Each structure stands twice: as structure tokens, then as C-alpha cells.
């Protein structure tokens, strides 16, 4: 069964899982998604997005204060397992928006206009 670390789960949630009041997953059925810790991707935002998928809520503890004790990665994997690609697209959209914002805020060095034009056409761009 896919569970968070023992110090993050309460006896009440375990009881509900054992009684099948909550949905549990086999470890090999869990989809893993790496979700960066960006401003628009806080756990509260992710849980708010997941509200449209009732299966997600049924797999997490009933009480909100128990959910916030769980590791972020565990919560993300539960959401991704039930929501699938729409959740991955949601995350990728937030990442793209964040990257565009950073790119717009960056200070660029002064360079020859011809070199700058070549640089702008380039498909291989790295950060600072």
C-alpha cells in the first residue's frame, strides 16, 4: 500500500484505509510526478486544483489538518495518479508562466545588435 512516512500519517487515516472508508493504492499503481517548489505550486494550490477530482479527496485523510502534515511529494503523486495528464499540464503551465516571468525580469548584458539578433534566434539558451 502506498503510504506517506509513518510519522506523517495518523492512526485515524490508517483506520479509515483499513476499513476501506478511504481509497488506498498499491505502490506499483502510483504515478510519480516531480513538482518543483515554485510560488504558484504550493500545496494549497495543488489541493484546490484537485478538488475537481473526487477520487483524490477520497485517497487523502478526511481532516484537512492531517493532509497538511503529509509530504508534498506524496500529495502530488496522489493527485497525479488520479488526475493524470491534466494535472501534469497544470503543473507545466505554472512552470512555463514562472519561467517567462523570470525571463522578462532578467537583466541582459549590452551587446552588439547583430550578435543580439543571433542570440535571440538561437534555440539553445541557458540561464545566468
Q: Where are the domains of the chain?
A: 1-88
Cα 24 to Cα 12: distance, rounded to the nearest angstrom = 14
Express each pLDDT in 70-95 by its tens digit. Answer: 999 999 999 999 999 999 999 999 99
CB under 8 A, 24+ apart: contacts of 90-93: 90/49, 91/33, 91/35, 91/41
Cα 97 to Cα 28: distance, rounded to the nearest angstrom = 32
Three cell numbers written together for 110: 549590452
Closest Cα partner for 83 from 61, 53, 49, 46? 53
pLDDT at 2 over 90: yes
Q: In the chain, where does DSSP find H-type helix?
A: 11-18, 43-50, 54-59, 64-67, 72-83, 85-105, 113-121
Instruction: Check if the beta carbon of residue 81 is closer than 8 Å to that of residue 14.
Output: no
Three cell numbers written together for 82: 488520479
Express each pLDDT in 6-60 by its tens digit. Answer: 889 889 999 999 999 999 999 999 999 999 998 889 999 999 999 999 999 999 9
Q: What is the pLDDT of residue 100?
A: 86
Amino acid at each position: 500500500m502506498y503510504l506517506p512516512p509513518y510519522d506523517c500519517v495518523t492512526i485515524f487515516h490508517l483506520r479509515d484505509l483499513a476499513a476501506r472508508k478511504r481509497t488506498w493504492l498499491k505502490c506499483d499503481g502510483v504515478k510519480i510526478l516531480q513538482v518543483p517548489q515554485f510560488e504558484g505550486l504550493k500545496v494549497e494550490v495543488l489541493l484546490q486544483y484537485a478538488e475537481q477530482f473526487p477520487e483524490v479527496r477520497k485517497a487523502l485523510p478526511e481532516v484537512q489538518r492531517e493532509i497538511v502534515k503529509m509530504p508534498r511529494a506524496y500529495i502530488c503523486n496522489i493527485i497525479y495518479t488520479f488526475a493524470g495528464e491534466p494535472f501534469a499540464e497544470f503543473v507545466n503551465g505554472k512552470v512555463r508562466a514562472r519561467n517567462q516571468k523570470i525571463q522578462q525580469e532578467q537583466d541582459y548584458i549590452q551587446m552588439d545588435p547583430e550578435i543580439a539578433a543571433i542570440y535571440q534566434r538561437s534555440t539553445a539558451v541557458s540561464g545566468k
